[in-house]
Amino acid sequence: MGEPTYRYFRVTTPREYVAHVEINRPEKANAFIEPMWHELKVVFDRLSDDPSVRAIVFSGAGDKSFSAGLDLQNASAEGSKFNPRPEDKLDAGRQAFKTRKWALEFQHCVSSIERCEKPVICVMHGMCIGLTVDIVTCTDLRICTTDSVFSVKEVDVAITSDVGTLARLPKVVGSYAWVKDVCLTGRNFDAEEALRVGFVTQVLPTKAEAVQKALETADSIAAKSPLAVQGTKNCLDWCRDHDVASGLRYMAVWNGGAINTQDVPLAMKSILTKGGNPRFEKL
């Protein structure tokens, strides 16, 4: 409720424990310019720490698009990072060093969604292009509208995508050949294909319905023990990146602490007595 105001994002709390983050630059198809990814990090870092938030819905403002990705007009202006003036050009070695640091910082902003301790449910509609795919692969659940169009566009801008798509997509969907196909051709794929390959888990006719669905899911997650929900997100992300043995050992240590909570007998009793969701304390 006392959410701060942001320039490029609108953050509301439509329901108890549920935050809604909207990319809010609809006049530019929610395309991204540099201050936006810095603000994105501020938004998600804050929600990660706020005990009154247990689940987050993430969508794009306006009817047109979730996001058109990098704002090319802005990125290609003379004097920008991607098109430096001749007189600003550094020694190639120094330029490489500086570009790397800039890319690491860019990644760090985008990855704030993955580092956020609360589940993030992404609702996509319209264009979801280029940088957008980097961003949404950091979310936990993805649903979209029938009219969604996706593309891993970076290759068409002569860029090896480096803020997340190539690192996460091979671990996010089932077909590595499909990953290579969309990343090497930069071709569009639609909602139906996204569903078939497992990139999204649901397709809904309209944005309103998709947001409604996401809010319901968020609601249902927010009603569960926050210890179990956030533990599940944390452990799944750990296990994606470690072998099974290291996954099992980490989780045994996790539950050494986490399982010793009153939420467990409370939840068990509620199930056995069909008493409905108990009210779990804040975390």
Residues 37 to 66 in contact with its own copies, rule: CB under 8 A: none
Would you say 110 and 138 are in contact if contact means Cβ atoms under 8 Å apart?
Answer: yes
- Does 275 sit near its own copies (CB under 8 A)? no
- Beta-bridge partner residues of 12: 20
The residue from 192, 205, 255, 275 that contacts its own copies (CB under 8 A) is 255
CB nearer its own copies, residue 6 or residue 266: 266
By CB under 8 A, the count of residues binding its own copies is 115
Q: Using CA atoms, how far apart are residues 220 and 204, in angstroms rounded to an integer?
A: 19
The residue from 32, 119, 135, 210 that contacts its own copies (CB under 8 A) is 119
Would you say 48 and 109 are in contact if contact means Cβ atoms under 8 Å apart?
Answer: no
- Does 198 sit near its own copies (CB under 8 A)? yes
- Does 212 sit near its own copies (CB under 8 A)? no
- Does 208 sit near its own copies (CB under 8 A)? no
Torsion of CA 44, 46, 52, 58, to 10 degrees: -20
Q: What is the DSSP string of 147-173?
A: T-EEE-GGGGGT----SSHHHHHHHHS
CB nearer its own copies, residue 8 or residue 189: 189
- Does 158 sit near its own copies (CB under 8 A)? yes
- Choices 1-9, 13-21, 31-39, 227-235 (CB under 8 A): range interacting with its own copies: 227-235
- Does 1 sit near its own copies (CB under 8 A)? no
> For the CA atoms of the chain, what is the radius of gyration?
20
